[in-house]
Chains A and B, each alone.
Chain A
Amino acid sequence: MSRAPLELSNIHHVFDETNWKLVISNLQIQSGQILGIIGPNGSGKSTLLRIGSGVLLPLQGSVDLGERNIQKISRSNIAKILGYLPQELESLYDLSVEEVVSMGRYPHISSFGSWTAADRDAVARSLHFTEMQEKRNSPLSRLSGGEKKRTFLASVLAQEPKVMLLDEPTASLDIHHQIQFLSLLKILAADGMAIAVATHDLNLASLFSDRLLVLDQGKIAAVGDPKQVLSAELIHAVYGENILLGQHPEVDRPTLIPRIIKDKKQ
């Protein structure tokens, strides 16, 4: 089996203020797969992705991008291989969709270099892929939440990365746009991209992930095939007892249904 394009080994990170710890012994993000990352609030999903993308340096451990330690690669060279979409997307200025997407070409163009046909093609492809080409001139302030997310995803895609780490990209999207967004990721993974997506939506994670990682209090509670990982025992241990486990009517994937909490007096 060929080496994973992104591998985290012996990660140990502590936030001084709270003494909260993230401990990951080994995690590989494989080409051609979507790794869903789930876990309750504060379980370490964002910290894991920030460390994986080199945005946050862990106190201990290493992140290898391809054959090299990510700390030894320049930010610009990292961005040619790895795309990172943070959770908070807040532009200071009301840029147009095309301006934001074009900014994804940063690692491919030197400070005083000019745009080539390849750069223009990459931007056009990203706009087309995310179905934002018709809104290319719209300012960010005129876009819906879903369109904004797609715009920033397009800007990451314009980097032409081989690995993509996305932090809650479907948060605040309606179910239609959530499905649409994750379907786009499926196409990219089928093309060979290695993708990791942190999400709070357990059902979508179950449906769209090739592998599922469950984080609990900064540690890996389980990782593997969603069918095996999403057991009632694990879900109750991590999320509590008020979740029922069912089966998706069309595909062989577990579905999670919330249970109504009964009044204790009754």
Chain B
Amino acid sequence: MKTKHFLFYLLLFITVIVITPWIGPEKTTPGAILQHIQGPSNPQGEIFFFQRLPRLILALLTGGALALVGASFQVLFRNPLVEPFTLGVSGGSALGAFLAISIPSLWIVWGPFSSIQIFAAIGASGSLLLIYRIANRPQGLSVNTLLLAGITISIICAGAILLLTYLASPNLLMSFQRWMMGGIDIVGYQDLISLVPFLLPGGILLFIHARDLNHIALGEEMALGHGVDVKSVQKHVFIGGGLATAAVVSLTGPIGFVGLIIPHAVRGLSGYDQRIILTGSFLLGGAVLAVCDTLARTILAPTELPVGIITALLGGPLFIRLLLSRRWR
């Protein structure tokens, strides 16, 4: 039964990988791509390998990571409305990015990281550490304080962003706005490498605690009774989810709804075992964001839409549909 569900999500993921890179305003044919591989290079091959493929990989990783974090956080906080950005990570990240955009003396490049990315990552990690410090008690993390501190940090960051926006020159406002819309329009593989140091450990931490999260869904005390080290699991899931969110949000900006809706969709399709929920959310989240990005690239071609607009416009009505059709517990 579980294998069947896993195969379904995997098949969907692979189908998206196989189909979407061929879709776009510039026509690409398998023959031209093969020719490009054998050399000499041609424009179609360049588009395919240096634009569409890295972008597809980023969409798969971003969508996957956001949905994975959303699925884990919804159990950790026992709240179906929690998403990766609830914890203030995107607020801190946005504040860092805005600072990097508005203060030219902060423009630096370090390895594969751009200054916006570096400051967005600093902002995200800073807010994570602050929230962690606030919620950490001698007897472990207080999950409620974690959630409230996250929301408060988000509000503080939003205030600081408003101040920066108010003081910024008009030409910077466009850059601010563009960052907030979220986008995965990268060229080449350099940016993808910058994801690895945060996303990989974060994702691993979440996946290894999938079984423990099943028990936490029964309540903290029942989970402790079953032998789950609840406090460690809470810490690891918070840190893992925070790292994964910080990794993607510092590169792509906030992309809404994927982290909220996909876990609910997977639960609706596959039940409540977190082992299949987390894997399914990663695969479906990645596939859905890749499809949304394909729409963003093609719907108004040659103009490209930020993918955040597509996910919000499609995701919002879908979530309302979900709210109307399911009994919420």
Contact = CB atoms under 8 A, between A and B. Distances in A.
- Binding between chains A and B: yes
A85 B225 contact: yes
A93 interface: yes
Interface string A197-240: 00000000000000000000000000000000000000000000
A88 B78 CA distance: 15
Interface string B223-234: 011111110000
Interface in A50-80: 50, 53-55, 57, 74-80
Interface in A69-105: 74-80, 83-86, 88-95, 99-100, 103-104
Contacts of B214: 103
A83 B224 CA distance: 10
A68 to B, nearest CB: 16
A54 B224 CA distance: 9
Most buried by B among A74, A77, A83, A103: A103
A83 B219 contact: no
A111 B226 contact: no
A92 B75 contact: yes
Interface stretch (A6-14, A37-45, A151-159): A151-159
A159 B228 CA distance: 12
Interface string B248-270: 00000000000000000001000
Nearest to A152: B222
Contacts of B229: 74-76
A103 B218 contact: yes
Interface residues of A, number: 36
A77 B215 CA distance: 16
A109 to B, nearest CB: 9
Contact of B227 (A76, A90, A99): A76
A86 B221 contact: yes
A55 B229 CA distance: 10
B211 interface: yes
Contact of A84 (B225, B267, B272, B273): B225
A142 to B, nearest CB: 13
B105 interface: no
Nearest to A90: B219
A181 interface: no
Nearest to B231: A75
A152 B225 CA distance: 11
Contacts of B139: 57
B272 A75 contact: no
B225 A79 contact: yes
Contacts of A50: 221
Contacts of A84: 221, 224-225
Nearest to B226: A106
B208 interface: yes
Nearest to B217: A92
Contacts of A88: 219, 221
B219 A78 contact: no
Given A57-B139, A111-B208, A111-B211, A91 B218 contact: yes
A8 B91 CA distance: 48
A90 B223 CA distance: 11
Nearest to A79: B227
B225 A94 contact: no
Contacts of B321: none
A145 interface: no
Contacts of B27: none
B227 A75 contact: yes
A89 B219 contact: yes
Contact of B329 (A93, A104, A155): A93
B224 A55 contact: yes
Most buried by A among B78, B211, B229, B267: B211
Interface in B76-93: 78
A75 B215 CA distance: 13
B27 to A, nearest CB: 46
B221 A75 contact: no
A104 to B, nearest CB: 6
A8 B83 CA distance: 42
B225 A91 contact: no
A107 interface: yes
B217 A79 contact: no
B145 to A, nearest CB: 15
Most buried by B among A77, A79, A93, A104: A93
B208 to A, nearest CB: 7
Given A86-B219, A88-B219, A93-B329, A53 B225 contact: yes
Interface of B: 75, 78, 139, 208, 211, 214-215, 217-219, 221-222, 224-230, 267, 272-273, 329
27 contacts: A50-B221, A53-B225, A74-B229, A75-B224, A75-B230, A76-B227, A79-B225, A80-B227, A84-B221, A84-B224, A84-B225, A85-B222, A86-B225, A88-B221, A89-B219, A91-B218, A92-B75, A93-B217, A94-B272, A94-B329, A95-B272, A100-B218, A103-B226, A104-B226, A111-B211, A155-B226, A156-B225
Interface of A: 50, 53-55, 57, 74-80, 83-86, 88-95, 99-100, 103-104, 106-107, 111, 141, 152, 155-156, 159
Given A76-B229, A103-B218, 16 more contacts: A75-B227, A85-B225, A86-B222, A86-B225, A89-B218, A92-B217, A92-B329, A94-B329, A95-B272, A99-B272, A106-B211, A106-B215, A111-B208, A111-B211, A152-B222, A155-B226
